[in-house]
């Protein structure tokens, strides 16, 4: 067994023990607990092997430093937890803007790192670019079949923005999120992306609805003049 394998085993073991022992904790607290477990192991090695353990302990220190930087890059200053229980890789509490990322992002060797980088960027859109409250919960528009469609602000539009900013592929998304993306695209194509993102930042949904009506005014007038009614799909 090489020294590299040994140092990784020590750090990885401490990470896995901390993942199992904690619920939702700050990134700093998680790292502190890992460090305490690693220090307990290296102290034992020092006591048993003395100076002969110095090289290994030095390698462990380097591995810890690299791991902490990796985790900081993916998690930031927020929290980690068992987000899978919420059916998500990460989430942001809308009122508090508290972000929680899956403990999978704390692994020594994170699988599919680009995916977790997109997850981080997705959640930062919720955290920094979107309001906590909205003046209305839905907006409506007329689709290509002259049917009125309703989309949700918190859901369709908020997720549309969080998906499109990091340019997440459909392979990142569940069926529900793919639908959010499609619904958001439909509104953005009518009102313009800037109008949608401005509303998501300000919370002023009425302004977005007015923009949609203004953009579709001629289409609506033509429909009425043709003797048809503006009806919901249902």
Give the Cα separation of 29 and 35 in Å (integer). Answer: 10
What pLDDT sits at residue 234? 43
Q: Provide the 8-state DSSP code for 138.
A: E
Q: Is the pTM of this model over 0.85?
A: yes
Cα dist from 210 to 110, 146, 183, 188, 207, whole Å: 45, 18, 18, 14, 5
The answer to whether residues 18 and 33 touch, using CB atoms and an 8 Å cutoff, is: yes
For the chain, 234 residues long, give each residue's pLDDT as a single digit of tens: 344 589 999 999 999 999 999 999 999 999 999 999 999 999 999 999 999 999 999 999 999 999 999 999 999 999 999 999 999 999 999 999 999 999 999 999 999 999 999 999 999 999 999 999 999 999 999 999 989 999 999 999 999 999 999 999 999 999 999 999 999 999 999 999 999 999 999 999 999 999 999 999 988 888 878 776 555 544
C-alpha gyration radius of the chain: 25
Give the Cα separation of 39 and 48 in Å (integer). Answer: 14
Q: Which of 108, 106, 96 is nearest to 75 (CA)?
A: 106
Q: b/e for 48-87, b at 16 or more Cβ within 10 A?
A: eeeeebeebbebbeebbeebbebbeebbeebbbbebeeee
Spans of all domains in the chain: 3-112, 138-232
What pLDDT sits at residue 233? 47
What pLDDT sits at residue 180? 98
Contacts of 78 (CB under 8 A, 6+ apart): 26, 27, 98, 99, 100, 101
What pLDDT sits at residue 2? 46
- Residue 141's DSSP bridge partners are 149
Q: Which of 102, 105, 106, 127 is nearest to 114 (CA)?
A: 105
The answer to whether residues 224 and 142 touch, using CB atoms and an 8 Å cutoff, is: no
Sheet holding 99-102, edge to edge: 25-26, 79-81, 99-102, 90-92
Give the Cα separation of 141 and 130 in Å (integer). Answer: 22
pLDDT digits (tens, 9 = 90+) for 91-107: 999 999 999 999 999 99
What pLDDT sits at residue 224? 76
pLDDT digits (tens, 9 = 90+) for 209-225: 999 999 999 888 888 78
pLDDT digits (tens, 9 = 90+) for 134-152: 999 999 999 999 899 999 9
């Amino acid at each position: 067994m090489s020294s590299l394998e040994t140092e990784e085993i020590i750090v990885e073991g401490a990470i896995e023990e901390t993942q199992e022992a904690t619920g939702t904790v700050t990134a700093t607290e998680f790292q502190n607990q890992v460090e305490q477990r690693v220090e307990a192991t290296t102290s034992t090695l020092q006591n048993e092997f003395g100076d002969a353990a110095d090289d290994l302990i030095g390698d462990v220190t380097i591995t810890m430093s690299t791991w902490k930087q990796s985790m900081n890059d993916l998690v930031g200053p927020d929290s980690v937890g068992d987000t899978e229980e919420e059916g998500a890789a990460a989430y942001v509490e809308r009122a508090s803007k508290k972000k929680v990322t899956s403990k999978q992002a704390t692994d020594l060797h994170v699988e599919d790192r680009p995916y977790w980088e997109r997850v981080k960027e997705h959640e930062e859109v919720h955290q920094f670019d979107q309001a906590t409250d909205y003046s209305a919960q839905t907006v409506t528009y007329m689709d290509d079949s002259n049917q009125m469609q309703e989309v949700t602000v918190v859901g369709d539009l908020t997720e549309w923005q969080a998906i499109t900013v990091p340019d997440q592929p459909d392979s990142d998304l569940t069926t529900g999120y793919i639908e959010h993306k499609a619904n958001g695209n439909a509104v953005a194509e009518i009102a313009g992306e800037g109008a949608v993102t401005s509303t998501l930042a300000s919370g002023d949904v009425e302004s977005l609805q007015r923009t949609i009506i203004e953009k579709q005014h001629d289409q609506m007038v033509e429909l009425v003049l043709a003797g048809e009614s503006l009806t919901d799909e249902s």
